[in-house]
Chain A
Amino acid sequence: MLDLVLLAQQGAGELQSGLTAIGRGIVYGGAAIGPGIGIGLVVGNAITAMARQPESAGTVRTTMFLGIAFTEALALFGFVLTFIVSG
């Protein structure tokens, strides 16, 4: 801990930019977990629906894209937040 403080006094700028980079990685990585699972569920269930009822594939596909768009928004918030996070 003391080392960290000393380091911060010596090269505050470098330390800050390094920690900012780590923070950006954590922000985007954290934001991508949930939507990743969510999009998997959406598409997987859409494929099941299309396989069971191929004649409704058109409707299911449109709804699937809607579901992906809503789920994906959270990951994109994280992506934009990555650029907003600054040192």
Chain B
Amino acid sequence: MTILGQLDFPPISHLTRWPNFWFEGTPFAVNKTVLIYIAAVVLTLAFFFAAGRRAQLVPKGVQNMAESSLEFVRDGIILQTMGPEGMRYLPFLTAMFFFIFFANIFEIVPFIQFPGNASFAVPLILAGLVWIIFNVVGVVRQGPFGYLKNELFPPGVPKALYLLVTPIEFVSVFLVRPFSLAIRLFANMLAGHLILATFALLCAALFSTTLLVVILPFSFGLLIALTAFEILVAGLQAFIFTILTGVYVGSSMNPEH
């Protein structure tokens, strides 16, 4: 049992906070998370510039991947949630999908191994952007009073129940929506990062000459399996963030009558 005494799990802040190394002391200080986000932006730009630079009639290589990803966003997200008139959001949603995906995928890149979205700031900013967009779209499409009426007084409810329904709808639409959007992305990536860190620490503690070393292959195998699972999670969370944006903006565009 002494071996498990060596397994001291570090405080959470050791796993998620990184020291600043450039521009320290200014609001523009750069640490590992910032570098990951910059890399995500650069990768997203490079992917689509490489795809569009020498566009051919018959796509191949990078262009093929970019076109099928655009098709996926169009058929899987926009047409299912907003309908054909949501096509103007195609560039926004595609860029957001790839930005989140590239920031997430650094969770499993060797020697970097930190998902950018495991810090709360950027998911919150993205969710705030989505909040502004779906409110502005709702006000523009339905007028300020029509929008509030459709969101806060859903039709088909008995009059007396509005006393109960309206406050709930207000909290759920204007407060819980952006926070749940941000927390869903942030907490999923943080949880994945913690699980991988836990199993890596366990492997390191079991790497010894005592009898407990027989557990090491199982722990290591689970670490590999969970790393593969995190690839799935990184893609899935980017997809879910994007499709929920589509659902929210779509519900402001076409209210249920």
Chain A residues at the B interface, C-beta cutoff of 8 Å = 59, 62, 65-66, 69-70, 72-73, 76-77, 79-80, 83
In the complex, what distance in Å separates the CA atom of A79 from the CA atom of B180? Answer: 12
In the complex, what distance in Å separates the CA atom of A73 from the CA atom of B243? Answer: 15
Whether A79 touches B243, Cβ cut-off 8 Å, given contacts A62-B80, A69-B184, A72-B184, is no
Q: Closest residue of chain A to B120, judged by CB?
A: A80
Tell me, yes or no, whether B188 is within 8 Å of chain A by CB. Answer: yes
Tell me, yes or no, whether B240 is within 8 Å of chain A by CB. Answer: yes
In the complex, what distance in Å separates the CA atom of A49 from the CA atom of B190? Answer: 33
Chain B residues at the A interface, C-beta cutoff of 8 Å = 12, 76, 80, 180, 183-184, 186-188, 190-191, 236, 239-240, 243-244, 247
Which residue from B12, B76, B80, B240 sits with its C-beta under 8 Å from A69? B240
Provide the residues of chain B in CB contact with A79, threshold 8 Å. 187, 190-191
Provide the residues of chain A in CB contact with B190, threshold 8 Å. 79
In the complex, what distance in Å separates the CA atom of A13 from the CA atom of B16? Answer: 25
Do residues B76 and A62 form an inter-chain contact, with CB atoms below 8 A? yes
Interface of B is mostly: helix
Do residues B184 and A59 form an inter-chain contact, with CB atoms below 8 A? no
Which residue from A66, A70, A76, A83 sits with its C-beta under 8 Å from B188? A76
Interface of A is mostly: helix
* Chain A proximity of B156: nearest CB distance (Å): 21
Provide the residues of chain A in CB contact with B243, threshold 8 Å. 62, 65-66
Do residues A65 and B239 form an inter-chain contact, with CB atoms below 8 A? yes
Q: Closest residue of chain A to B247, judged by CB?
A: A66
Provide the residues of chain B in CB contact with A65, threshold 8 Å. 236, 239-240, 243
Q: What are 21 A-B pairs with beta-carbon distances under 8 A?
A: A59-B80, A62-B76, A62-B80, A62-B243, A65-B236, A65-B243, A66-B243, A66-B247, A69-B244, A70-B180, A73-B180, A73-B183, A73-B184, A76-B183, A76-B187, A76-B188, A77-B180, A79-B191, A80-B183, A80-B186, A83-B12
Provide the residues of chain B in CB contact with A72, threshold 8 Å. 184
Do residues A77 and B183 form an inter-chain contact, with CB atoms below 8 A? yes
Provide the residues of chain B in CB contact with A69, threshold 8 Å. 184, 240, 244
In the A-B complex, the 7 residue pairs with the closest CB atoms: A76-B187, A73-B180, A69-B240, A79-B187, A80-B187, A76-B183, A73-B184
Other than the given A62-B76, A72-B184, A80-B183, 6 more pairs (CB < 8 A) read A66-B240, A73-B183, A76-B183, A76-B184, A79-B191, A80-B187
In the complex, what distance in Å separates the CA atom of A72 from the CA atom of B186? Answer: 13
* Chain A proximity of B165: nearest CB distance (Å): 18
* Chain B proximity of A14: nearest CB distance (Å): 16
Provide the residues of chain B in CB contact with A66, threshold 8 Å. 240, 243-244, 247
Provide the residues of chain A in CB contact with B236, threshold 8 Å. 65
Provide the residues of chain A in CB contact with B180, threshold 8 Å. 70, 73, 76-77
In the complex, what distance in Å separates the CA atom of A72 from the CA atom of B180? Answer: 10
Provide the residues of chain A in CB contact with B191, threshold 8 Å. 79
In the complex, what distance in Å separates the CA atom of A5 from the CA atom of B46? Answer: 63
* Chain B proximity of A34: nearest CB distance (Å): 15
